[in-house]
Amino acid sequence: MRCPWGLSTADYVAYHDDEWGRPVHGDDALFERLCLEAFQSGLSWITILRRREGFRSAFDGFKIASVAAFTDADEERLLADPGIIRNRAKIAATLANARVLADWPSGDLDSLIWSYAPDGARRAAPRTVADVPAVTDESTALAKALKKRGLRFVGPTTAYALMQACGLVDDHLADCVFRGGAAGGSGQDRA
């Protein structure tokens, strides 16, 4: 058994089985996930997933230091790149966020995000997709903390999607074989 959304396409099967809900650490890795969740806002996740390699190429692997150094010419290049979502506001936010994060000490993004992970033992496993929230108190607090530190396109829904994708919460349904990392081990070594 898998979560129903993880069955619709081969892309979703692979993402569900190998990545979604597995713990992700490292500033650059979390920056990538934060950016992709922001680009997804208003779109379906499959749209982002299918363009992920295009995003990685366009944004130099989401290395914070590299993206922070992007120029106006790079922004124009991104706006013309058919391999990504060419939304001016989202591209500008990605560049601005990288510039903010480039000034943070190494590990601070990882520490900040993971400090908002809720106590999983107190959360009941969702039984249906309808049981999975779009926003939680923790995601609202995380979004506020990120915004307070100067990041953009990081609302509570985006923050919760990040928490799900990066393993801060386990929203695999109760009868999903991947609940708790059962099928893939603990997930600690996966990003």
Active site annotation includes 138: no
The secondary structure of residue 125, as a DSSP letter, is: P
Active-site hit among 15, 20, 116, 160: 15
Smallest Cα–Cα separation from 153: which of 103, 91, 81, 62? 91
Active site annotation includes 116: no
Active-site hit among 5, 45, 104, 114: 45
Active-site hit among 12, 19, 20, 37: 37
Catalytic positions, written as ranges: 15, 37, 45
